[in-house]
A = this chain, B = another copy of it.
Amino acid sequence: MRIVLDAMGTDGAPDSEVAGAIRALREIEEDIEIVLVGDQEILQAEVARHGTVPLDRLHFEHAPDRVLSAEASASVLRKRPESSIVKGLRLQREGKADAFVSAGSTGAVMAASLFILKPLEGVDRPAIGTVLPTAKEPVLMLDAGANVDCKPHHLVQFARLGNIYAQDLMGRELPRIGLVNIGEESEKGNELALEAHQRLAHDPELCFVGNIEGREIIHGSCDVLVCDGFVGNVLLKFYESVAQFIVEYLRSYLQRAGTQVALDEALCVLDYSEYGGAPLLGVNGVSIICHGSSSPNAILNAIRVAAQAVRTSMVEHVARELRSKEPA
């Protein structure tokens, strides 16, 4: 399989991308090939710094342009046709690659993926999934920010998309679906949650376990957590920052107390880079979005996720499931 990596996405591009790609070629068992997209000269120079590299499985696609993070996402296709994001995604649409990974602007990757890969039949609103560490197994939360105003049937579609992702990528046989809400009882919630609850509860294809309160999320009592993209985005960013804050706070407290403790090992449970990137689910292709601050390890893990999505034919699985369904 061939995975396209946008090499101009991270804040310090292309260092993390190139290092992550080379580790992926060395460490991922499968016979994967990687296409680095970006300024070819710069990329080749960076690759040359890495010593022996399996060059037969590393390819380059020259993209002279780059999307800046401040740009309006909607105009990326028109204004940046030669950017690494647009050129990388086109490779997949043209059948020259199987998956796309980028740490570029989330909005730009999302918009370009929607335009170039297109939504699958039966999907109104592709959604961004994101894996949250919990006290038990990680949970897939979606939507993490693609759709800020949602109708109840969109939340049901997110549940169906997440259901397949959790099966194919997270090894959950019968994923438990939860709905973010302000109370456990089915009569709790805003208009969106009340109606979505009823629809989810009556969906015969889903194992709906009911409402999940804010305090319940961290306990990992479901596999897929559904919410609109506004709530999901706020929750996700809040989680990352709170975890970091508490850890930094405790670290400095322990230092002041003269205690030498290696917290880093303890904290890898909270390390997002361990979970790879966030998939854009519901498009006709594999598109994985990484943090702009991704380390080589985060890039490696995102490539791993992309490879797994290709290996399990996740997109065909989603297409089959959603095409055959009644409207949500």
Q: Spell out A's residues near B (CB within 8 Å).
A: 135, 145, 148-149, 180-182, 189-191, 193, 213-219, 228-231, 233-243, 245-247, 249-250, 253-254, 257, 259, 261, 263, 266, 269-270
26 A-B residue contacts at CB 8 Å? A145-B182, A180-B234, A181-B234, A182-B229, A182-B233, A190-B228, A190-B230, A214-B234, A214-B235, A214-B236, A214-B238, A214-B241, A215-B241, A217-B241, A218-B238, A219-B245, A230-B231, A238-B239, A242-B243, A243-B246, A246-B246, A249-B269, A250-B250, A250-B266, A254-B266, A259-B261
Q: B238 to A149, Cβ gap below 8 A?
A: no
Give the distance in Å from the alpha carbon of A239 to the alpha carbon of B246 in the complex. 11
**Interface of chain A: mostly helix, strand, loop or mixed:** helix
Q: B237 to A234, Cβ gap below 8 A?
A: no
Q: A190 to B250, Cβ gap below 8 A?
A: no
Number of copies: 2
A215: contacting residue among B189, B213, B240, CB under 8 A: B240
The answer to whether A217 and B246 touch (CB under 8 A), given A149-B190, A230-B182, is no
User: What is the distance, in angstroms, from A150's C-beta to the closest C-beta of chain B?
Assistant: 9
The answer to whether A233 and B214 touch (CB under 8 A), given A145-B182, A241-B219, A242-B243, is yes
Give the distance in Å from the alpha carbon of A236 to the alpha carbon of B215 in the complex. 8
User: What is the distance, in angstroms, from A258's C-beta to the closest C-beta of chain B?
Assistant: 10
Q: Please name all residues of chain B whose beta carbon is closer than 8 Å to the beta carbon of A261 when the two chains form the complex.
A: 254, 257, 259, 261
Give the distance in Å from the alpha carbon of A191 to the alpha carbon of B147 in the complex. 11
Q: B235 to A234, Cβ gap below 8 A?
A: yes
Q: B253 to A241, Cβ gap below 8 A?
A: no
Q: Please name all residues of chain B whose beta carbon is closer than 8 Å to the beta carbon of A231 when the two chains form the complex.
A: 230-231, 234
Nearest B residue (CB) for A261: B259
